[in-house]
Amino acid sequence: MQDFHFDRARALLAHAEEIVDAQAVQAAVRRVADTLNERFGNPDDTAFPLVLGVMGGAVVFTGQLLPQLRFPLEFDYIHVTRYGDDDHGGEVVWKVIPRPNVAGRTVIVVDDILDEGQTLAEVKRRLLDMGAAEVIIVVFADKALKRPKPVQADIVGLTIPNKFVVGFGMDVYGYWRNLPGLWVIRQEDLKAA
């Protein structure tokens, strides 16, 4: 069992290509923090936003973003996933729903990647249904797709090509969330795994 996962994780990364290195990742996090600090960091701004990290993919981005924010905030998390853990998303499933304290708040949703947008469209809809005053969507990566998405991100760290990536919180079959840069996994390796 352990050997299986070790070998499969290694095989998936063996021919992967690094498209964003750790330094560029850090620069993107800084840009996102600067944008949020400009928006919420004025001394006369009394907003007290609720930052919601979307588990599990946003764990690394959120962890690095929060210490760079210079305004009072509250942190909480939600957990949403799309069925199955392969490279094609299915139905959106809630594992941890937002708490009632979202009502009336400015909510900053932080996620790893906006792909087809089903996940964040559902998150935004639910938060507004629960009475959030405003929902600001922050994603580390926005995948460039040819078709329109059901939701847009308000703040984007990086726009990336329409390829399957791992690293900085993003995984393939649960592997490689820990990589500090972004790596594209070869399509044929995804199929073979």
Strands in 106-114's sheet, in edge-to-edge order, are 92-96, 74-82, 50-55, 106-114, 134-143, 155-160
Residues near 3 by beta carbon (within 8 Å), at least 6 away in sequence: none
Say whether 115 is catalytic: yes
CA pseudo-torsion sign 161, 163, 166, 171: positive
When CB distances are held under 5 to 8 angstroms depending on the partner's kind, the choice from Mg ion, ligand IMP, none that residue 98 binds is none
**Site track 66-85 with ligand IMP (rule: CB under 6 A), x = hit:** ----------------x---
Determine, following the binding rule CB under 6 A, whether residue 118 of this chain makes contact with ligand IMP. yes
Query: Shortest distance, CB of residue 48 to Mg ion, whole angstroms?
Result: 26
Out of 40, 61, 140, 164, name the contact with ligand IMP by CB under 6 A.
164
Closest CB to Mg ion among residues 106, 119: 119
**Site track 47-86 with Mg ion (rule: CB under 5 A), x = hit:** ----------x-----------------------------
Determine, following the binding rule CB under 6 A, whether residue 26 of this chain makes contact with ligand IMP. no
Q: Which of 7, 21, 87, 115 is flagged as catalytic?
A: 115
Determine, following the binding rule CB under 6 A, whether residue 142 of this chain makes contact with ligand IMP. no
Contact of 179 with 187, CB cutoff 8 Å = no
Neighbouring C-beta atoms of residue 129, cutoff 10 Å: 10
Nearest C-alpha neighbor of 158 from the set 63, 37, 25, 16:
25
Tokens of 61: 């981005």
